[in-house]
């Protein structure tokens, strides 16, 4: 049911038309990528946490229900929503401006993380690093080149190795990392599926057995797909 201003009214607990479904069936329906707006509204009115979690993870979830779950869902539901690649920018900004570390962790892994939210997750309002978020951000293909450069200044080798694996890593950073001589970073580059051929040849000729092993494993994995 819609209110006069067009927003969704969840005050009445209304099940989908096939109300004989058990909760497990409703969860399956909530995760269906072809679910209609009407079905989404009815499922959001069930009040079921399990249904909410399935809805929150559904990439076709409309903005109205996203806003409803962002305000009324449990922490687990909000974390599922934060990872949703279709999450509205306004909700991304709200989550990034919040103070819940679990939601930040989930948002940092969102493959469509907005570029405005990225610096908010990398550093707090006082300019201090949020070190626990750097690895999921370094792994995120949505990370902009500017933010890649910022993260590349980290002294944490795990962060740098994760950044080296990122398929969206800029070519200039790939070249810079290939010249660093650090084993962990070179192994990360060897696992990067978008490494240019001239850098592939450079790694193969490096003589490092671990680098070569990871390079071969990554390429075989690509071939099998």
Asked if the model's pLDDT at residue 10 lies above 60, the reply is no
pLDDT, position 225: 65
Asked if the model's pLDDT at residue 11 lies above 60, the reply is no
Asked if the model's pLDDT at residue 184 lies above 60, the reply is yes
More confident site: 225 or 6: 225
Distances from the Cα of 112 to the Cαs of 23, 137, 140, in angstroms?
Answer: 30, 11, 9
Helix ranges restricted to H, 22-170 = 23-30, 37-44, 49-57, 63-72, 75-83, 89-96, 101-108, 117-122, 131-139, 145-151, 157-165
pTM here?
0.84
Q: Is the dihedral of CA 16, 17, 19, 21 positive or negative?
A: negative
188-204: pLDDT as tens digits: 999 999 999 999 999 99
10 Å CB burial of residue 45 (0-12, 13-18, 19+) is buried
85 in Cβ contact with 110 (< 8 Å): yes
| 3-class secondary-structure state, position 97 | coil
Between CA 101 and CA 33, with CA 56 as vertex, the angle to 5 degrees is: 145
CA distance 151 to 137: 9
80-136: pLDDT as tens digits: 999 999 999 999 999 999 999 999 999 999 999 999 999 999 987 777 888 899 999
> Which whole number is the average pLDDT over 26-53?
96
């Amino acid at each position: 049911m819609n209110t006069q201003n067009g927003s969704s009214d969840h005050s009445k607990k209304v099940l989908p038309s096939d109300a004989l479904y058990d909760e497990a069936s409703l969860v399956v329906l909530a995760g269906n990528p072809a679910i209609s707006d009407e079905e989404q509204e009815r499922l959001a009115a069930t009040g079921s946490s399990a249904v909410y979690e399935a809805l929150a993870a559904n990439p076709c979830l409309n903005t109205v229900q996203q806003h409803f779950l962002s305000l009324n869902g449990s922490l687990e539901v909000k974390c599922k929503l934060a990872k949703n690649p279709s999450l509205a920018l306004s909700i991304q900004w709200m989550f990034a401006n919040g103070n819940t570390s679990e939601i930040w962790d989930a948002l940092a892994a969102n493959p469509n993380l907005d570029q405005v939210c990225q610096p908010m997750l990398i550093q707090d309002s006082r300019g201090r690093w949020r070190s626990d978020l750097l690895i999921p951000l370094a792994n995120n293909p949505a990370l902009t080149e500017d933010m890649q450069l910022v993260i590349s200044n980290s002294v944490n080798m795990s962060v740098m190795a994760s950044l080296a694996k990122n398929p969206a890593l800029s070519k200039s950073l790939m070249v810079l990392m290939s010249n660093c001589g650090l084993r962990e970073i070179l192994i990360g580059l060897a696992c990067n599926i978008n490494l240019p051929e001239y850098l592939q040849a450079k790694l193969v000729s490096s003589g490092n057995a671990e680098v070569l092993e990871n390079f071969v494993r990554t390429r075989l994995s690509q071939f099998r797909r």
